[in-house]
């Protein structure tokens, strides 16, 4: 098993936690709906993601840093049979997602309003079927690269919590971060990148749901890159 991230060696991957003041309706949702959907990390032991949903779901998908929640909401609405976990630290984004959950009556989303790396460290082995990390902060300055959420260390932890054959979907509009992602992916013995032609990283997956950030990037004329990594089969242990 890979060594888990500890609170002492982990570098925070998120930026600001708050933006503009929440509206009254948003504050009400934060007080009433978020506690019902919030994931409480165990003080000891591990967290089986299936225990977050009643009744339990057949599959569990996990989005790290969902922003305003556009992608997460569309995926959850399209797949009510799947349990969705979302991790986000930005209060305004959480409030926006809660409004969408309430408006659409979605019951298959659970949320962590904290660093996703804390949740990854707590999850039990091989319980996640798909992970999304879409347009994460590129932390472009070299001294901040250690805060990039996609790293060899994070991939090792994700490999532990993902089932064999599970997919990791990445997207970025930052060419340097793309190279960083590919370097981490190709250095990992746990993931393979099955791309065979340019369309495999230039075109989104067939079930892709556009995000607000993607729209901004396209309007600004930036290219979008999509990576699909697959969790390799674990070696049988004697």
Neighbouring CB atoms inside 10 A of 194's CB total 10
DSSP string, 28-80: HHHHHTHHHHBPPPPSSS-B-GGGGSSS--SEEEEEES-TTSHHHHHHHHH-T
Which entry of 114, 125, 137, 200 is annotated as an active-site residue?
137
Q: Is 170 helix (H, G, I), strand (E, B) or coil?
A: strand
In angstroms, the CA 210 to CA 168 distance is 17
Would residue 137 show up in a list of annotated catalytic residues for this protein? yes
**Does residue 15 form part of some domain?**
no
**Does residue 16 form part of some domain?**
no
**Does residue 29 form part of some domain?**
yes
In angstroms, the CA 97 to CA 199 distance is 31
Is the entire prediction scored with pTM above 0.85?
Answer: yes
Per the structure, the complete domain to which residue 113 belongs is given by 24-231
In angstroms, the CA 135 to CA 124 distance is 26
**Does residue 214 form part of some domain?**
yes
**Does residue 105 form part of some domain?**
yes
Question: Mind listing the pLDDT tens digit of every residue in the chain (238 residues)?
Answer: 334 444 334 444 444 566 578 889 999 999 999 999 999 999 999 999 999 999 999 899 999 999 999 999 999 999 999 999 999 999 999 999 999 999 999 999 999 999 999 999 999 999 999 999 999 999 899 999 999 999 999 999 999 999 999 999 999 999 999 999 999 999 999 999 999 999 999 999 988 888 888 999 999 999 999 999 999 999 865 4
In angstroms, the CA 130 to CA 85 distance is 10
Tally of domains within the chain: 1
């Amino acid at each position: 098993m890979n060594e888990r991230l500890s609170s002492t060696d982990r570098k925070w991957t998120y930026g600001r936690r708050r933006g503009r003041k929440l509206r009254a309706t948003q504050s009400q949702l934060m007080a009433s709906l978020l506690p019902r959907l919030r994931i409480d990390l165990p003080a000891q032991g591990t967290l089986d993601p299936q225990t977050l949903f009643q009744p339990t779901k057949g599959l569990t998908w996990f989005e790290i840093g969902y922003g305003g929640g556009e992608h997460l909401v569309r995926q959850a609405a399209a797949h009510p049979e799947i349990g969705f976990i979302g991790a986000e630290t930005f209060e305004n984004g959480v409030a926006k997602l809660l409004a969408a959950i309430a408006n659409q009556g979605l019951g298959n989303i659970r949320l962590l309003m904290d660093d996703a790396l804390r949740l990854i460290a707590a999850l039990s082995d091989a319980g996640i079927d798909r992970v999304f990390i879409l347009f994460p902060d590129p932390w472009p300055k070299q001294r901040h690269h250690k805060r990039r959420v996609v790293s060899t260390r994070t991939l090792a932890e994700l490999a532990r919590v993902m089932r064999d054959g599970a997919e990791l979907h990445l997207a970025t509009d930052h060419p340097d971060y793309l190279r960083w992602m590919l370097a981490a992916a190709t250095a990992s013995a746990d993931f393979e990148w099955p791309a065979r032609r340019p369309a495999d990283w230039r075109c989104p997956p067939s079930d892709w749901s556009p995000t607000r950030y993607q729209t901004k990037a396209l309007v600004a004329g930036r290219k979008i890159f999509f990576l699909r990594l697959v969790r390799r089969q674990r070696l049988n242990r004697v």
